[in-house]
């Protein structure tokens, strides 16, 4: 018997449903140092790495599917590890005996004495990876899966592929071999949960005793109960092995800062055929140094696994217990640019982790506050005196991504006769993907409206965060272009006023710009010369209309009073109607004493009485056609 020092082995609930369709990918090119570095995680330093066996018996793997409940790591096999790649369609006989040899009768490499003890038969084709390690905590753990082509045919028979994880070092005494610097032997921690029985084809299987139930019960009286740790892989897509275990966790109490030695070994038992392999999870070979992890369960594609979204996507901090065998109260320091209890649900300043729990998870639940303030951070940290007597600190940081409310601006659209318009309801901000519902019952992000669909409509949008927005708009069908009544003619220098209505503004105008001019309003025309002019108006729907303007020379009419400043903008100038038809006409203005106060040889209605006081004045108007006019004018000033 040997002292297991509180050795425990527990099932890890990592198994999902077996619906995978992607093969594992195995790379046999790494060196032993490469795969040890791949295997080792936090809190462990390693040295003295060696490997015994053929170089194709170890490698790294990645697992894009979900049949094997382990995303990536290291594989050790009794044959070529590349032969573990699925699908499981070739049968056991196609996998090689003896380091990848195809002939199952070819003798393999020597076995391992420790595996002989576990298997109860002589072993062959061993693959043995060994190294020294120093833990930074008081425990060691890692995850593994054992698979074999001997499933489901050779349970409890004389052949029994075997593997073991043999650890030697301070405080450990066991029956298995160890290096000379560790004279007390080694213990195997590849055990069925809560037992001292090693994991093998004979002890963990489907419960079918192909070679007799008594053979299985001799190895483990409770062997049929171990079916919960077994996965039948008939017809599997990812892995070639006929069966494998669920992901198991090996845990061992160690002494912080001391040097230990581990031997990871696997071999064929009783023959050299039917390959087996053990998968070791990347980064899982770790000690319980202070550690905090953060993340998001199933993060959406628009966020990283270190980002949460206000009022929408939550995250977590996982605090791992420094002492896995005792209750711990962990004091936390919460910091960052986000404010605890205001920007997110309050994170306590301490947590208690019980001995039965390896960790505790604290949710990070960010609040939606409707304030655009940019992304903020949350950091959780704790400091602990580890079993080495050293202060250890761990921290993790998450980012709270600001949620900005959706904005949608749909202008009331015109639909031109005989056409349609497509409206896009994709909002600014918010968080897609979006769900749409138009009042027309459409659920697309766009909707088409045709001529005849004039009216009021709405579109409702719901985003990924279940926030909603509704926008109302009016579909407008413009009337034809219409004209107000056009006079039979307009006098020279007279403006027509606004003559256009209907249609879809803005308009385009086509007219003789050398003869017509506009002022202020583009539909207010006057003529530079007498004549008949066509004006074409085209709207945004390409509707067009043409109307005719007639400008002629009109007789002059001279006022006898004007009132600059009395009503600003009205009657501010001495205006002679019709003067535009008589260019180069002369105007003279005299006061009551006969003094000339204003004169112009080409009067254009621009005298505003400047310099003249209120009173009566005398004018002489010499029209350019030879006619002369004279008379009295009264100028009225405002107060």
Residues 126 and 161: beta-carbon distance below 8 Å: no
H-helix or E-strand spanning residue 455: strand 455-462
The alpha carbon torsion through 250, 253, 257, 261 (nearest 10 deg) reads -50
Residues 498 and 535: beta-carbon distance below 8 Å: no
Token code pair at residue 263: 């031997």
Residue 525 within a domain: yes
Q: Angle at the Cα of 201 (from 195 to 207), degrees rounded to 5?
A: 80
Is the confidence at residue 106, as pLDDT, over 50? no
Residue 413 within a domain: no
**Would you call 197 helix, strand, or coil by DSSP?**
coil
Only one residue has tokens 């918010």, namely 430
Task: Calculate the alpha carbon distances from 96 to 83, 99, 105 in Å.
Answer: 8, 7, 10
Residues contacting 590, CB < 8 A, separation 6+: 596, 597, 617, 618, 619, 620
Give residue 454's pLDDT.
93
The 3-class secondary structure across 68-95, one letter per residue, is CCCCEEEEEECCCHHHHECCCCCCHHHC
Q: Are 281 and 332 part of one and the same domain?
A: no
Give residue 3's pLDDT.
35
Q: Are 321 and 389 part of one and the same domain?
A: yes
Which band of pLDDT confidence, cut at 50, 70 and 90, is reported for residue 93? Answer: very low
The whole-angstrom separation of Cα 68 and Cα 72 is 10
Residues 144 and 193: beta-carbon distance below 8 Å: no
Residue 550 CA, chain-centre distance (Å), reads 67
Give residue 459's pLDDT.
97
Residues contacting 116, CB < 8 A, separation 6+: 122, 123
Only one residue has tokens 């005298």, namely 607
Q: What are phi and psi of 167, to 5 degrees?
A: -120, 135
H-helix or E-strand spanning residue 294: strand 291-295
Residues 414 and 479: beta-carbon distance below 8 Å: no
Report the chain's C-alpha Rg in angstroms: 47
Is the confidence at residue 325, as pLDDT, over 80? no
End-to-end CA distance of the chain: 123
Residue 410 within a domain: no
Classify residue 405 by its DSSP letter.
-
Q: Which domain holds residue 507?
A: 482-552
Is the confidence at residue 535, as pLDDT, over 80? yes
Residue 24 CA, chain-centre distance (Å), reads 27
Give residue 443's pLDDT.
97
287, 319, 349: which is the final residue of a domain? 287
Residues 164 and 175: beta-carbon distance below 8 Å: no
The b-or-e profile of 97-134 (16+ CB within 10 A means b, else e) is bbbbbeebeeebbebbebbbbbbebebbbbbbbbbbbb
Residues 612 and 591: beta-carbon distance below 8 Å: yes
Q: Are 382 and 305 part of one and the same domain?
A: yes
Nearest to 268 by CA among 152, 511, 106: 106
Q: What are phi and psi of 83, to 5 degrees?
A: -75, -5
The whole-angstrom separation of Cα 535 and Cα 349 is 81
H-helix or E-strand spanning residue 547: strand 544-552
Residue 383 within a domain: yes
DSSP 333-357: EEESSSPBTTTBSPPPSEEEE-TT-
Nearest to 496 by CA among 485, 507, 511, 505: 485
Average model confidence (pLDDT) across the chain:
85
561-590: average pLDDT: 88
239, 269, 287: which is the final residue of a domain? 287
**Would you call 219 helix, strand, or coil by DSSP?**
helix
Is the confidence at residue 319, as pLDDT, over 90? no
Q: Are 53 and 184 part of one and the same domain?
A: yes
Assign residue 617 the CATH number of its domain: 2.60.40
Residues 620 and 630: beta-carbon distance below 8 Å: yes
Residue 414 within a domain: no
Is the confidence at residue 580, as pLDDT, over 90? no
Residue 345 within a domain: yes
H-helix or E-strand spanning residue 119: helix 113-119
The whole-angstrom separation of Cα 103 and Cα 125 is 13
Token code pair at residue 314: 């939550």
| CB-based burial label for 608 (10 Å; 0-12, 13-18, 19+) | middle
Domains of the chain: total: 5
Only one residue has tokens 């749909």, namely 410
Is the confidence at residue 95, as pLDDT, over 70? no
Q: Are 302 and 169 part of one and the same domain?
A: no
Q: Are 123 and 168 part of one and the same domain?
A: yes
Classify residue 466 by its DSSP letter.
S
Dump pLDDT digits (tens) for 418-467: 899 999 999 999 999 999 999 999 999 999 999 999 999 999 999 999 99
Give residue 391's pLDDT.
75
The whole-angstrom separation of Cα 335 and Cα 27 is 42
Q: What are phi and psi of 404, to 5 degrees?
A: -110, 130
Dump pLDDT digits (tens) for 375-408: 999 999 988 776 677 777 889 999 999 999 999 9
Dump pLDDT digits (tens) for 354-370: 767 768 899 999 999 99
Assign residue 358 the CATH number of its domain: 2.60.40.2030
Is the confidence at residue 200, as pLDDT, over 80? yes
Q: Are 548 and 567 part of one and the same domain?
A: no
Q: Are 167 and 312 part of one and the same domain?
A: no
Token code pair at residue 528: 């530079």
Greatest CA separation for the chain: 147
The whole-angstrom separation of Cα 500 and Cα 481 is 7
Is the confidence at residue 54, as pLDDT, over 50? yes
The whole-angstrom separation of Cα 299 and Cα 377 is 17
522, 552, 582: which is the final residue of a domain? 552
Q: Are 267 and 372 part of one and the same domain?
A: no
Is the confidence at residue 120, as pLDDT, over 80? no
The Cβ-side half-sphere exposure at 191, using a 13 Å CA radius, reads: 19
Residue 33 within a domain: yes
Who has greater pLDDT, 76 or 203?
76
Is the confidence at residue 5, as pLDDT, over 70? no
Residues 347 and 362: beta-carbon distance below 8 Å: yes
Which band of pLDDT confidence, cut at 50, 70 and 90, is reported for residue 268? Answer: confident
Assign residue 497 the CATH number of its domain: 2.60.40.1080
Q: Find residue 131's DSSP bridge partners.
A: 262
Residue 415 within a domain: no
Which band of pLDDT confidence, cut at 50, 70 and 90, is reported for residue 146? Answer: very high
291-295: strand order across its sheet: 291-295, 315-320, 359-364
Which band of pLDDT confidence, cut at 50, 70 and 90, is reported for residue 11? Answer: very low
Token code pair at residue 579: 């003067």
34-58: average pLDDT: 93
The 3-class secondary structure across 492-525, one letter per residue, is CCCCCCCCEECCCCCCEEECCCCCEEEECEEEEE
Q: Are 106 and 40 part of one and the same domain?
A: yes
Q: Are 320 and 341 part of one and the same domain?
A: yes
Residues 541 and 504: beta-carbon distance below 8 Å: yes
- Which range among 212-221, 497-506, 569-578, 612-621 has the greatest average pLDDT? 612-621
Q: Are 505 and 462 part of one and the same domain?
A: no
- Which range among 67-71, 143-147, 417-421, 487-491 has the greatest average pLDDT? 143-147
């Amino acid at each position: 018997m040997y002292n297991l020092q509180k050795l425990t082995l527990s099932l890890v609930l990592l198994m999902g449903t077996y619906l995978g369709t992607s093969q594992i990918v195995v790379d046999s090119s790494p060196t032993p140092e490469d795969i040890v570095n791949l295997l080792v995680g936090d809190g462990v330093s390693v040295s003295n790495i060696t490997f015994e066996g053929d170089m194709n018996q170890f490698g790294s793997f990645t697992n894009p599917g979900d049949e094997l409940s382990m995303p990536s790591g290291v594989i050790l096999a009794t044959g070529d590890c590349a032969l573990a790649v699925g699908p499981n369609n070739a049968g056991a006989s196609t996998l090689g005996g003896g380091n990848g040899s195809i002939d199952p009768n070819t003798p393999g490499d020597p076995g391992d004495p420790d595996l002989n003890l576990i298997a109860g038969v002589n072993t062959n084709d061993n693959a043995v990876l060994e190294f020294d390690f120093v833990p930074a905590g008081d425990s060691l753990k890692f995850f593994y899966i054992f698979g074999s082509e001997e499933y489901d045919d050779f349970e409890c028979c004389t052949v029994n592929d075997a593997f073991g994880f043999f650890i030697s070092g301070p405080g450990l005494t066991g029956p298995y071999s160890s290096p000379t610097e560790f004279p007390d032997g080694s213990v195997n921690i590849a055990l069925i949960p809560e037992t001292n029985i090693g994991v093998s084809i004979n002890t963990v299987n489907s419960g079918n005793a192909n070679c007799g139930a008594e053979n299985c019960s001799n190895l483990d009286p409770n062997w049929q109960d171990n079916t919960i740790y077994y996965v039948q892989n008939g017809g599997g897509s990812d892995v070639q092995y006929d069966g494998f275990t669920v992901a198991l966790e090996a845990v061992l109490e160690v002494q912080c800062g001391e040097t230990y030695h581990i031997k990871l070994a696997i071999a064929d038992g009783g023959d050299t055929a039917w390959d087996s392999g053990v998968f070791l999870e990347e980064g899982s070979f770790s000690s319980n140094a202070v550690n905090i992890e953060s993340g998001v369960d199933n993060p959406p594609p628009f966020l990283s696994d270190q980002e949460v979204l206000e009022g929408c996507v939550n995250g977590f901090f996982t605090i791992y217990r420094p002492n896995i065998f005792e209750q711990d109260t962990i004091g936390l320091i919460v910091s960052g640019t986000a404010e605890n209890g205001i920007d997110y649900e309050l994170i306590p300043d301490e947590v208690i982790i019980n001995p039965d729990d390896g960790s505790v998870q604290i949710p990070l639940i960010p609040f939606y506050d409707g304030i655009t303030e940019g992304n903020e951070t949350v950091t959780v940290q704790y400091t602990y005196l580890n079993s080495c007597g050293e202060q250890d600190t761990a921290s993790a940081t998450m980012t709270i991504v600001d949620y900005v409310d959706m904005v949608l601006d749909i202008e009331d659209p015109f639909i031109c006769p005989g056409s349609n318009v497509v409206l896009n309801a994709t909002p600014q901000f918010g968080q897609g993907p979006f769900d749409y519902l138009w009042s027309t019952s459409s659920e697309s992000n766009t909707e088409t409206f045709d001529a005849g669909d004039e009216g009021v409509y709405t579109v409702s949008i719901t985003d990924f965060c279940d926030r909603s927005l509704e926008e109302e708009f009016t579909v407008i069908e413009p009337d034809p272009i219409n004209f107000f009544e056009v006079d039979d003619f307009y006098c020279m220098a007279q403006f027509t006023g606004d003559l256009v209505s209907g249609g879809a503004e803005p308009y385009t105008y086509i007219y003789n710009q050398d003869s017509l001019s506009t002022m202020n309003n583009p539909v207010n025309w006057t003529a530079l010369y007498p004549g008949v002019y066509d004006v074409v108006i085209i709207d945004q729907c390409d509707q067009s209309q043409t109307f005719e303007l007639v400008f002629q020379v009109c007789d002059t009419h001279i006022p006898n009073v004007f009132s600059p400043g009395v009503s600003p903008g009205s009657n501010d100038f001495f205006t002679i109607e019709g003067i535009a038809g008589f260019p180069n006409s002369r105007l003279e203005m005299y006061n009551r004493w006969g003094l000339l106060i204003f004169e112009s040889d080409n009067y254009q209605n621009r005298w505003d009485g400047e310099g003249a006081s209120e009173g009566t004045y005398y004018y002489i108007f010499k029209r350019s056609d030879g006619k002369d006019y004279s008379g009295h004018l009264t100028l009225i000033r405002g107060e």
